[in-house]
Amino acid sequence: MTDGNEQGAGDSNSAAQIIAQNIAANGYAGDVSPQQAHEALIQGAIIVDVRTQPEWNFVGVPAIEEAQLVFCQWQKFPLMDINTDFSKQAGSDVLRRSDQPQPGDAPALYFLCRSGVRSRAAAIAMTLAGYPNCFNISGGFEGSPNEDGHRGLVNGWKAAHMPWRQG
């Protein structure tokens, strides 16, 4: 999480307290590593990929169960305007996939973008929309560029060797 104690949405009281503190301080539950997000899938979590259609098609997507992956652009390609319907669109998909009637009942949501910036904003927006367990995946899908300007090698989903496939 953002306080240096990266954790997933575990079942201990201390994890719940850390999540509550992060929501109060940051507007969302906190940052987690790609490994922690992947492990959370076992508990029924959902990954919300907030990148654009071209990123999904040409860069790749997490190779996980379809029921645990929501695609919803935070910014609309090609102008990259903020998707003002993001919370409604993503929320509808999350509730449908999780069979939960209310945002407060939804499973933990892990937000993913290229490097972790758009996904943090999306996690905050969904927290404000009533989803209590919204995490940002540190480093995003491709992570920071290396010294040669190439992504996918330093940090993020791909660099952590999490499952992915070409879109």
Share of the chain above pLDDT 70, in %: 92
Contact 163, 64 (CB under 8 A): yes
**Which of 99, 115, 119 is CA-nearest to residue 107?**
99
ω into residue 103 within 30 of 0, thus cis?
A: no
Which of residues 118 and 4 earns the better pLDDT score? 118
User: What are the pLDDT digits (tens) for 15-33?
Assistant: 778 778 888 888 999 999 9
DSSP-based helix, strand, coil % in the chain, nearest 5: 35, 15, 50
Instruction: Look up the CATH number of domain 28-165.
Output: 3.40.250.10
- Ranking 14-18, 78-82, 89-93 by mean pLDDT, the lowest is 14-18
